[in-house]
Structure 1
């Protein structure tokens, strides 16, 4: 969660500065000014000083009625200060002194261009108009004047503002001027009586006036005298108003900018990066790498033309760099983070920038191998450091040279970079008990130990250690100490004596990456200098602004707030520390800067990348245009004869399907609302090869039973599409759904002749209705559309048979002489398929336009001779769109569902059909995934039988595992049970309460076992973690043993499963129960497995040699890993043998061997004795202490305190990774 960097400024200021910053949206709280706002005293301890209520500086059109918190009480002290004229204090008529008083130093310290002063002599106060204006004066090349509301701007205070004085026609379009100004109302007869208010503002064309709604209470102008001599502020309705103006240089173009309509590209030439949630740390790093031009050029050289996939991080980084180079707006990083393999949660977790930088470099290095840029990154960012131990009294030295990509500098205890480097290379003297063993020749010797640099890279990344573990607070803390860094520094002082110093090692600052906030929350941004001699710019997510050197350096040193007057800002006597400070610095070697910041031109960008992104930009523009014109168009979906014949599901079509994926989908059009139905008919006719004059559209409506059927014909071709939609739908924003009827006969002019003549209101006549037909083929288990027919409502259901036979071109008699008989069903809705009564009239059967009748042959053993011909002439799933279980010859394939003889049974199957993808759980098995169509009510055995048929294996040996809905990986083994169905397996009941919007995962993992499931039921499955190589390597295995077996049998099974040496050859093996990363108990070898918990975590290892024979000794303790607090346990626990009187310095050597942890990973570990209670504070162990003496109770543990490498140090997120 990122914190807002602006915040409230008033809480950091004395009341006297309330006006100064009332409207300033600062990136951080600024220090206060110690002098008064009202009255002549610069010292608050001076006689006569009063602390006054704040008065906000505002535009006169805003805040006309101020809140009650600003209202003075009747008897409250006045804002006017009455000063003895004999005192040595500024008088209002001493303009030079008053300028110093009113226009005090600003936190931003902008350069001054000009000072100006103007006095307005106000007379006849009560006779002034509601708005009065003073004389015009000039400052900064612009005219100014004071705007006055003598009777208040809707408040009981006189209001004064400073405004630009241009005539409306003469006001420049780009008018901008930054001013600090003070307004002083004073008594011309007693100039030591006055009221002052000060503010600053960026005056623009939109905000041309600024000032104070509550300058001074009206009743206190002349109602009573203010001193013993009887002086008033405005005696005789007369007063003087002096405006003091300081014109400031806006070096960056954003001084006090409100950033409304701010265009980074226009103002700076650069664009920012969008923040996805908490990716500001990523944005600052990406901008830094982008402006390391040699790095950008090298990234462009990675060949990606054959791998243009958004899973390729090199390709997405190329895309991001190109967009930063060419876009006019802020660029998103979504593609890049997705290519890293990050999920949504990762973009809301602030990661470690150093780790991210290093892993990104490693990934790009891999991608650059074998290219022209293969060694570019190491040449740019990699230096060499020497670790040495040099004997003082003999000629013996041990040294090791390593590469480094960045340098971590200590901030705490160091004032600047120079001090940190000295700290880094300081020499440690090894003497006394810490002497160095210099081999058999020299034995123990005094020696110097340290590190020294052999070389620095062209681009030097300095990681400032702002976040460190505080052992006193027992927590990670951010270090806000002041830490200075220069614009240039000479690194040669930290090079080895034999290093090459023929070329200058002076470095110049290129980038400052900043963190604003505390340990847990904050915001990241960067200051970067894109060119050798240009400006620094601030890259704050999507905003880019020019920055001054003060903003780059002083503002990011951290430490205490230093006010413009040089004093330290304090709150309750405690110094206020800056929340923003640099945490990473980028320096470039001055002699190599031209090689690093070399120009990156269009020629450097891969041509395929430009082409791809230009195409995407054009597509985005087209989509934008489409969205902008969306209100002019309507989406229309049209059912044609082809749609009806190809569709094999319920209802007439699936309106949600796409023509690109489903040949039975309706045709989709995006049409102008003002177009006519005649225009639409021409388009549909061209697509279907039908004369548009033969096309008549029917509007389709939603029925109450949730079906969509044709309802009313739309014969008027001149009717607009919008009118037709309004006629057939109540929702203007919905898609328009139509059926395109094609006339079977035409008149002499080629116009279609329609069976049902429309009535006066456009509705079809009631004597004829249109009925849609479907045919069910039991032999191929398929359903297909068979067109439509018109019937008189007074006809009977049995009259449908000859009409259907004629439609299908079937004879009325079979070759045997038997009459052709049909079974008729009405498809009322997908879940209601009813058999029709032959003697019932269509009217009595409540049939109407758009109803569906499904038929099938009643005597299927003796088909009509023309049946095959009819089917060939009428497209159906049998000869056009095959079901997934139908082979090319029309027979049922292996793994198909059971055969349904009647249409209602098949309809019921369609409702419950599930296409399930079966994936082998063992990816090395060589079995390809496959898909089967199954009934949702299938039992476990039914599913296994279908899969067994597909694989050609015994179904009793097949075990299924569900898939995780988010990751798609195996989740849980499916238990074979009587009540278990495919529906409950794929969608267990509890998922209904988790997330109704989660997409259904119709997939199962399977494995073919060596035994039947019945036999498996007699076995016990145990998951065991096998630990080896100390505790640095772990592998998980699942072993099966008899439920009557003991732990001895488990060990034997593990040896076989893991393929490891038996106990005779490799050594004895022991098992532990592990809970919360601690050893709970050692599991007895004679224990029966049935007595073990179902959810037990088991760890297995060989017994270390030094523990053989001591396993039951009190000299064996348990050890575990934790981070910071004992409750934050992690890693693999272990047992360890104690040796009496052994110094811990020697114990650590055995611990290093026992754990297998080496080098820096082991050196960073802090060891502690931890009591069993989670709330006990660890007792850290010194090298001269004896561990055996510190263990006082049997429950005491040895704790290894170090960073959990599987989690982030700062926020507990999982370890940062890049795919």
Structure 2
């Protein structure tokens, strides 16, 4: 054991190296390597050798990191040619501790168990700890103000004393965020995880580490048991939250029951001895924290769309709950494990945008308050709870990152709780007790950056603009705002149609509008008002294309996340305005939008059929090594690819015995074969999808082909 500057004691040994059950210990020892001048160490240092278990050991230290910007420390066998010849090995449990001799409470430790042998004579930690010349106390005179824990203290101090809204910039600066990122939606669960992990790491060198662990750490125990053989084992791990599934669970208790229920893992690899076994798994909690964070999983990955979708499923959560039923036998059940709802983080969304806000109950018996940016307003229990349960029989929606004004919350149609915060009822009053003036550390009250502000920046921070300068800035701001409002009220539109598709010989429906690309239909409008009604635009298009009286439909042409450009349903409502259409389908409000004009008759199906989807067909000509757009069809969920074959044979002039195979173009790097007998529903075919067909070649045709691609998947 490496220990920096003091002797080891039984308490430290028991904490870092607990004895394993049923393991025989041959010998145990410790070694202290006192380093007098860390700054003068070489890039690689070896500690003094010591004996244990019949072998000679030493510490291998990289003060500046072994290929990383961290301190790297390893435990290794001293080179011994005799042991190498004997194919020597040793099973060792060890701990490495970096210790500050001036302050015993400041140390970093890591422990491991490893089977050392001639092939692996060393083991340890490449990222042992941060590279710092000395540990700094959280309240030290030279605490770095980029420290997240310090920044959080400052924000809380300001919240306690300020009479108006408090700026979080000191905290966001500690995350490395700049102005632009402050106006981008951030995931609330990820933010909390990063914040708590950062503070936990920071508090490792302070006496507060045990209090933080008691407040926020969940001890999770996972028990495994083989079904057919007598083999059991368990794994213990720590977390600062519990992630629960919403899908198929109507209440929070249903989610907990699913999380802790016994599950069967078939073909689970148990190791070299028992190999694959059917194993049961059961999760329980050895300890629950005073403050319990529950992450509700309200997103799922849509394979077909290659996108993350939000789940708005109905999911009830209680104001109070008893967690004792989910505790393991090891847990202390001498006191009740009742929890009281303290906070609800809500994700509110519409078809084009989303935002977060929070409901918090500052006192155990008090009311909730709604915290929305710089506004804090009283809230009812219904507003904090049942209004955020979700939507019964809801359909998932694509997650968006549109930004909306903070005052426009009423326009959000789907408001769902995404994170719940419960406090153990028996500890609620002590945790939420009033903060006195004397409780606030003096060092958190000054402006954190003022002490370290460079002198040459003082004028920039503190000086006030002149009257003339203020007037000029205001004038520029008004001019810019007017220009932005004027530009936002108009848009340019590019159109594409089947003509583009039929002339395209590559992947997707058409090229991705490269610079200078001209559509097959010479039609575009550079200045369309947001107030124009879609049916007026349809009439204009019909007149300009010379197809007056012909029914047309206009589809949004969307660049998907998987790199494709496809029409996305439903078609634009003729009664809606172009401004509403842009907001609905193009949440970033681009100045140029792309639309698909459907004016040709479909080759198969009816566009008005129940549940029909617009699908595009391509033909792969193996003889001429060419792929070409063929046309569009409307398929229902019960249709199969083989249902398209008669129409294709007739259009291509093939005989009734021609065998046709089908593939789906999913994205540039993924083309999948399709089972001709499966329904479109099972194949997950929807609006804008592309199906490619190919006639199977006979032996004579195949033999006459030059060296080339015989199928579309290889092409």
Q: TM-score, normalised by structure 1?
A: 0.25
Alignment TM-score, normalising by the size of structure 2: 0.42
- Highest relative contact order (Cα 8 Å, sep 6+), 1 or 2? 2
